[in-house]
Structure 1
Amino acid sequence: MAIYTKGGDQGQTSLFDGLRVEKDSVRVDTYGTFDELNANISLAEKFCQSHENRQILQTVEYHMFYLQGEIATKDTAKFLAQSQTITAADTKMLEDVIDRYTAELPPVRSFILPGASVAGAQLHVCRTVCRRAERSFVKLSRDVHFRPELERYVNRLSDFLYIMARSEDYEALVNDVTQQVLEIYSRLGAAR
């Protein structure tokens, strides 16, 4: 079976509910940018040193499908009847991670470079793509009504990605220092 349908050869695409729209519409740009974000989150997750962070990011990857699906549907009721969607619990999960990691990590007193580790750098890429997706979402929201819970989730997402980047940078720092200490002890033991 071919993966192409030829349905978009004239510059249109189908939304979740079957409605045909122009491929360069704000709606398509918005869910497409969230799709780009999700691919970047998947890449970041592969670089993470923290097992917990990998699990959290995998959960967010699934949330992104629900988010994109709802944005890609003009008839929200049809989407809600056929798919999972973003809930208050999903937004609370982001807030809980933000609050817990903010309390656990050393305070930030100045601007930080975007990523001291590969995972941290990739999560900062995610954060910037998220901000672009959020700007597109806000633009679309001027003409399209979205559920408040979807708006809250989108608004929390970039803060979540920022704190995840900080967490991975800190994890890498701790692992690096631990490795250096072990090497010193190993050299001291060999010298005896």
Structure 2
Amino acid sequence: MRIYTKAGDDGTTGLFLGGRVSKADVLVDACGDVDEAVAVLGTARALCADERLAAILFDRQRELFVVAADLATNPAHRDRRTPGVSQVTREMVDGLESLIDTLVAERPLRPVFIVPGSTQVSAAVDHARTVIRRAERHVVQAAEAGHEVSPLALEYLNRVSDLVFVVARHAAGEVEEPPSHD
């Protein structure tokens, strides 16, 4: 099986369920950001010795595939999306909120700015958070440019960045700042 199709040689990319769009389209930027976030979360997961946090990261990677499919669906066929597979659901967003609440109860957040880099895992998770925030901005731009964007996909991205922030704090452990060199 060949990996190359040559279909994108004209500067377009395929949408889920048919159709093509320019690779320079802001919707493609959003999908690329989601793809990048999945990869960065994979880096964090590969570094993570904590099985619980690794499972949380893996589950987010899988859910971000759903977000990407939702965003990349041909507008004429959005009615053919499958909830939880190619369509973001309310349950996905609610699940994030529940997990955030659980993790914050276990490790209350400190009211200070955190400089990323306490651990390799927390740094990679913080990197993923910034990519997710960029994806969120591109989704807003895509909606403003006239693309049909699921409000739940946008809400999911907003909430998953909050969760990833909390996961980074867990991954950082008790020591979140390096000692001062004064």
TM-score range, shorter chain: 0.7 to 0.9
1:144 maps to 2:147: yes
Superposed displacement of residue 168, structure 1: 0.6
**Would you tell me which structure has more helix in proportion to its own residues?**
1
The letter for the 1-side match of 2:105 is: A
1:11 is matched with which residue? 11
Gaps of 5+ in 2: 176-182
Mapped to 2, the partners of 1:126 and 1:132 lie a distance apart of 10
Which secondary structure does the structure 2 equivalent of 1:4 belong to? coil
What are the Cα deviations for residues 10-62 of structure 1, in whole angstroms up to 9, with x where unaligned? 11111112111111111111111100111111111111232111111111111
Alignment pair present for 1:120 and 2:127: no
CA distance in 2, matches of 1:42, 1:85: 22
Q: How many residues align?
A: 172
Larger Rg over CA atoms: 1
Q: Which residue pairs with 2:50 in the alignment? A: 50
Over 3 Å counting, the alpha-carbon distance change for 1:25 and 1:50 in structure 2 is same
> What stretches of structure 1 of length at least 5 have no aligned partner?
174-192
- The TM-score with structure 1 as length reference comes to 0.83
For the 8 Å contact 2:66–2:84, the answer to whether it is kept is no
Which residue identity lines up with residue 111 of structure 2 in the other structure?
R
RMSD: 1.8
Within 5 A, what are the aligned runs for 1:13-162? 13-73=13-73, 74=75, 75-80=77-82, 83-142=85-144, 143-162=146-165
What is the TM-score normalised by the length of structure 2? 0.87
Between the aligned residues of both structures, percent identity stands at 35
The answer to whether the 8 A contact 1:49-1:168 is kept is: no
